[in-house]
Amino acid sequence: MRHFVSLELSRVAELPLRPLLYAAAAAATAAGVYYYLNNHGDGERTTLDPADTTPTEDPVQMGSAESDLVEPDLMCDVDEGSVTQTDSTASQTDSSASQTDSSASQTDSTASQTDSTASEVSLSEAEEKYELESCARLENEKPELLSDVNALQDSVQELKKELSEARKRNDELEMECNKKSQELQLLQIQHNAIKTHLRKKYEEERRAHSDLKPQYSQLMKTLTQTQVSLTKAEEGFLIAMHYNDENVQEVNELLRKLYHDHKCERMRLESEREILQSQYKEILQQRDELLMECVREREAHNILKSQYDNVIETLTHNEELLKYFQISLDEAEEIYWPAMEFSTQLESDLSPAVGGRALGDTQSVTR
């Protein structure tokens, strides 16, 4: 703090002091020379009365005393520099006066010395006045500078605290950054592992799909064959049902007719009773056979119906599979038209066989 204030005082004192001293010394020298030349030209000499001359203090002592009031360590350098500057200017004025009046005597040198002392007194007074003003101004500025220094120290402390907090925050952020980078590395490793796993799974699924493709084509062939056999079974079942219904109706009609004829002609045809009984037994036997055949046909019908239900279930399942695998229309038409041709051929093959069988049954019944 003292070093800072001393630097400020030396900077303020050195700037305006030298031109002022130079100007004051030059003015005093000019005034002394002018006064001496006027008195010397008139033939009069003025001497300084020792009683009238007021004893002046040494500028060095006066400056040091006043600087002791302010601060001795700060003002001594300034006072010594100003005194040396004043002495040098006085010697310069003396040399100039001796050069202008080289023919003057010892009295002239004494007058010049008194003039130089007067100029020194005026310079010392101006110097003291300036020093007092500068000291007063510095005293006035001292509290402000102290307050500024205190404020700067407080701001420095705050900045130190902020710097420490910033360093702590920086360390925390570095730790957090390192932690985040480690987490990122772990996530990257997990990502790579999941990626490789999914790639392997995709390859396995693709292989399974390529393996299932021939199975799918085989199932489609089986489905077409099943559909063809189903159409055949449906046609045979319909034919058998129609034939059974016709046979039952014919048998019922024949039984009614025979029973009616037998009832009406019982008395009239007693002679033919045995023949009719034998015929009746044969008819009953045929009826039993027909009934047994009807039962067998019904059982076969039930079996075919269960097969038909199973085939329907497989068809629905296969239709779902067809929807899933998106069978094209051309393939369906290629399957449908051969099935229709086979169905028509089957109907054409079954129609004469069914007709011959029905004809044989009617002949046996009539017998």
Q: 171-207 pLDDT, tens per residue?
A: 999 999 999 999 999 999 999 999 999 999 888 888 8
Quote the pLDDT of residue 139.
79
Is pLDDT of 348 > 50?
A: yes
Quote the pLDDT of residue 114.
63
Instruction: For tokens 């030396």, name the residue.
Output: 10
Residue range 59-105, pLDDT digits in tens: 333 344 333 433 434 333 434 444 344 445 445 545 544 554 554 55
CB burial of 34-57 (b: ≥16 within 10 Å; e: otherwise) equals: eebeeeeeeeeeeeeeeeeeeeee
Quote the pLDDT of residue 38.
61
Residue 83: alpha-carbon gap to chain centroid: 76
Q: How many residues are given for the chain?
A: 367
Report field, pTM of the whole predicted structure over 0.85: no
**Of the candidate ranges 220-224, 273-277, 325-329, the one whose mean pLDDT is the lowest:** 325-329
Quote the pLDDT of residue 329.
60
Quote the pLDDT of residue 15.
42
Quote the pLDDT of residue 288.
86
For residues 28 and 93, is the Cβ–Cβ distance under 8 A?
Answer: yes
Q: Delimit the domains of the chain by residue range.
A: 2-167, 216-366
Per-residue CA distances from 125 to 120, 128, 291, 293 (Å):
8, 5, 165, 162
